[in-house]
Amino acid sequence: MVRSVAKHSFSKPIILLLAFVALLGISLTRDFRSASSSAYVSLATTWARDKYRIVSANVSSNDSPKIQDVGGSNRDRYPERALAMTYADLPAPELEWEQMPSAPVPRLDGYSVQIKDCLFVFAGYANLDHVHSHVDVYNFSTNTWTESFAIPKDMANSHLGVATDGRYIYIVTGQYGPQCRGPTANVFVLDTETRKWESLPPLPAPRYAPATQLWKGRLHVMGGSKENRHTPGIDHWSLAVANGKALEKQWHKEVPIPRGGPHRACVVVDDRLYVIGGQEGDFMAKPGSPIFKCSRRFEVVYGDVYMLDESMKWKGLPSMPKPDSHIECSWVIVNNSIVVVGGTTEKHPVTKRMILVGEVFQFNLNTLTWSVIGKMPYRAKTTLAGFWDGWLYFTSGQRDRGPDNPQPRKVVGDTWRTKLKLLH
């Protein structure tokens, strides 16, 4: 499904085609501006389906479009044929999803950590103008939202880094407040047994949504966006921690990550640290805006996978089946596989619309291979995933506009589960 145009193969028709695409881009500018001012919660517009069809998975459900891959005869009529098709839905098996109790509030860019049968869900946006300042707790044994409690006043509300050792939850840096406000370098730790918060030494510099994980007794923080929210950072710092306490006064420099940027999954399995997907660039505050209004900037979403082992040298592993970002808490580890639920992929190459991901992916760490193992009930980004008693759960995030429109729309608190079936 994934195609790209090699530079050397540009022929005259393709150059004409690109000229057409450029003209189209100009005609869309006005529309695009209105979209950027209302940012990702409400991208305006009509999806030009007739001209630029979304090639969706060859699915069997009745309410889904049955659009097959665009055939050879359509080659000249459909410019996307010649462009990277990374945004398209991939063929994926249907899964039977069961809807569970919704979270107390809708959440975009929320964060979560599973400890035993509980999912702790932190902060996030209710919408671009309102952020949450509390934790909601879901119990997988009772399938109920059992509790809510406050986060510290000076903790970030989105773009956090989170990690746990099974009792303490470490929360580093992130964006403080709504819209595209500035970041804080503050670091906190929650004792989930006492519900008490403590402070830890602040990061050397604030970051937006850095890859964060506990690894070999140290809290590692990598990449993210720098202070302007857009420039990818590649710095990597670590702090020795134990039982919710810092064992050092300062963060140490570590080997920088090969590719920077925010919104990646960061997972430790068997003493190896994996950093999966992500993007370079993000929305930024509009210069001079008193409310730090978000405005869209150039972004590149990628599916790169990097791994650190005891050699402390980054290794590249096979990329995801498509570029995927906004997946910080959209993963679970089951039977030596990492399962990733949803996300957001490269923008549509012609319309520049944001495109959400509706697939469930499996990265088998025995074989280092990726598979598409299922289709979600809808496409969604910043899902918060959990696994309990054979069930794969996800809650919250921002969902699509419908089966035939993968653009982001509603911020939701909906919770779903399905019996997880892995491929060997």
d(CA 388, CA 394): 11
Rounded to a whole number of angstroms, the minimum distance from the CB of residue 91 to ligand NAG is: 5
**Closer by beta carbon to ligand NAG, 154 or else 193:** 193
Binding mask 156-185 vs ligand NAG (x if CB under 6 A, - otherwise)?
------------------------------
Residue 369 near ligand NAG by CB under 6 A: no
DSSP assignment of 86-104 equals TTSPPP------EEEPPPS
Q: At what angle do helices 29-38 and 12-27 cross, to 10 degrees?
A: 60
What DSSP string describes 317-371? EPPPSS--BS-TT-EEEETTEEEEEEEEEPPPTTT---EEEEEEEEEETTTTEEE
What is the distance between the alpha carbons of residues 133 and 123, in angstroms, rounded to a whole number? 5
Q: In this chain, which of 38, 133, 139, 143 binds ligand NAG, going by CB under 6 A?
A: 139
Looking at beta carbons only, is 35 or 135 nearer to ligand NAG? 135
The answer to whether the beta carbons of residues 222 and 210 sit under 8 Å apart is yes
Residue with Cβ nearer ligand NAG (4 or 335): 335
422 binding ligand NAG? (CB under 6 A):
yes
Q: Which of these, 170, 175, 197, lies nearest to 185 by C-alpha position?
A: 175
Tell me: does residue 147 bind ligand NAG (CB under 6 A): no
Q: How far is the CB of 244 from ligand NAG (least distance, A)?
A: 17
CB nearer to ligand NAG: give 50 or 389: 389
Contacts of 239 (CB under 8 A, 6+ apart): 200, 201, 218, 219, 246, 248, 250, 251, 252
Q: Which is nearer to ligand NAG, 91 or 202 (CB)?
A: 91
> Stretches 114-122, 197-205, 270-278, 342-350: which one binds ligand NAG (CB under 6 A)?
114-122
Q: Is the dihedral of CA 185, 200, 263, 313 positive or negative?
A: positive
State in angstroms the smallest separation of the CB of 358 from ligand NAG. 16
Please, which residue, 140 or 208, has the CB nearer to ligand NAG?
140
CA 127 distance to own-chain centroid: 17
Scanning 94-102, 137-145, 157-165, 230-238 for contacts with ligand NAG by CB under 6 A, the matching segment is 137-145
Q: In 3D, which of 147, 142, 133, 141 has the Cα closest to residue 103?
A: 147
The answer to whether residue 334 forms part of the interface with ligand NAG (CB under 6 A) is yes
The CA-atom distances, in angstroms, between 293 and each of 45, 186, 209 are 20, 23, 19
Which of 55, 83, 118, 171 contacts ligand NAG by CB under 6 A?
A: 118
Which residues ranging from 39 to 58 are in contact with ligand NAG (CB under 6 A)? 58
Please report which helix (H) or strand (E) contains residue 31, including its range. Answer: helix 29-38
Q: Does 364 bind ligand NAG (CB under 6 A)?
A: no
- If binding means CB under 6 A, how many residues of this protein chain bind ligand NAG? 12
- Judged by the rule CB under 6 A, the positions of this chain that interact with ligand NAG are 58, 91, 116-118, 139, 141-142, 334-335, 420, 422
